[in-house]
A and B are shown apart, each in its own frame.
Chain A
Amino acid sequence: AQTVTQSQPEMSVQEAETVTLSCTYDTSENNYYLFWYKQPPSRQMILVIRQEAYKQQNATENRFSVNFQKAAKSFSLKISDSQLGDTAMYFCAFMKPSSPTFGNEKLTFGTGTRLTIIP
């Protein structure tokens, strides 16, 4: 079974600074997908960024980027120029394809990191 570990329960950073959230995972699979989701106080889970394990290039979405180290099974999220609206719980998640013909499996989540952006 896959496990996802987020070792930082809480973090805080000054507005406009850069912050990195850590995530490690354990799997014997070679092909899989990794995600970062954001859950603001409204509790709506919002996709931040996704990474396909077979792609060596790190994914980037505007101020959000990842550092994907497949051999180390590490998938950290970097938020640049942090904004007050980035305050939220951040969850790292893992998904493996169940079969070539049946694309998706369930998401396995880490326990989350509560990020607070300080004005």
Chain B
Amino acid sequence: EAGVTQSPTHLIKTRGQQVTLRCSPISGHTSVYWYQQALGLGLQFLLWYDEGEERNRGNFPPRFSGRQFPNYSSELNVNALELEDSALYLCASSSDRVPGNTIYFGEGSWLTVV
């Protein structure tokens, strides 16, 4: 069974540009989570989608947005990139209605903003 897959794995963008990161959850999982892990810092919660709806949002500016598609895959969009957006962006998925079910992570997308 395939795990959580993310693309692209690495990318470099210029300050002010826009970026879209993609995530495919494990088959059967309907919840998708996005986390930001800046260098030397812990994981900061960005967004949580389930059944196509945004369920929760972390303390990030509105230029961070996303969506979840009918097939439960998800996109994270970041507009007007700033240097401090350079980080590893981790996507994770879990089963929808099982309390405390394990959240599984992808390998992440490395974003460098120059």
Q: Which residues between 103 and 117 of chain A lie within 8 Å of chain B, taking CB atoms?
A: 103-112
Verify if A19 is at the interface (C-beta below 8 Å from B).
no
CB neighbours (8 Å) of B50 from chain A are 102, 104
Chain A residues positioned under 8 Å from B94 (CB to CB): 104
Is A44 at the interface (CB under 8 A from chain B)? Answer: yes
A43 touches B31 (CB 8 A): no
Q: Are B107 and A104 touching (Cβ within 8 A)?
A: no
Interface residue from A50, A52, A100, A111 paired with B42 (Cβ < 8 Å): A111
**Smallest distance from the beta carbon of B91 to chain A beta carbons, Å?**
10
> Contact between A106 and B56 (Cβ–Cβ < 8 Å)?
yes
- A interface residues, tally (CB under 8 Å): 29
Cβ-defined contact, B100 with A104, below 8 A: yes
Interface residue B72 (Cβ < 8 Å from any Cβ of A): no
Are A103 and B99 in contact, with the CB atoms below 8 A?
yes
For the complex, what is the distance from the CA of A52 to the CA of B102, rounded to whole Å? 11
Closest residue of B by beta carbon distance from A4: B42
Q: Given the complex of chains A and B, what is the CA–CA distance between A50 and B31 in angstroms?
A: 19
Which residues of the other chain, A, contact B41 by a CB distance below 8 angstroms?
111
Q: Which B residues lie at the A interface, using CB under 8 A?
A: 31, 33, 35, 37, 41-43, 45, 48, 50, 55-56, 58, 88, 90, 92, 94-108
* 12 interchain pairs, CB-CB under 8 A: A44-B105, A44-B106, A44-B107, A45-B92, A91-B42, A98-B55, A103-B101, A104-B94, A106-B33, A107-B45, A111-B41, A112-B42
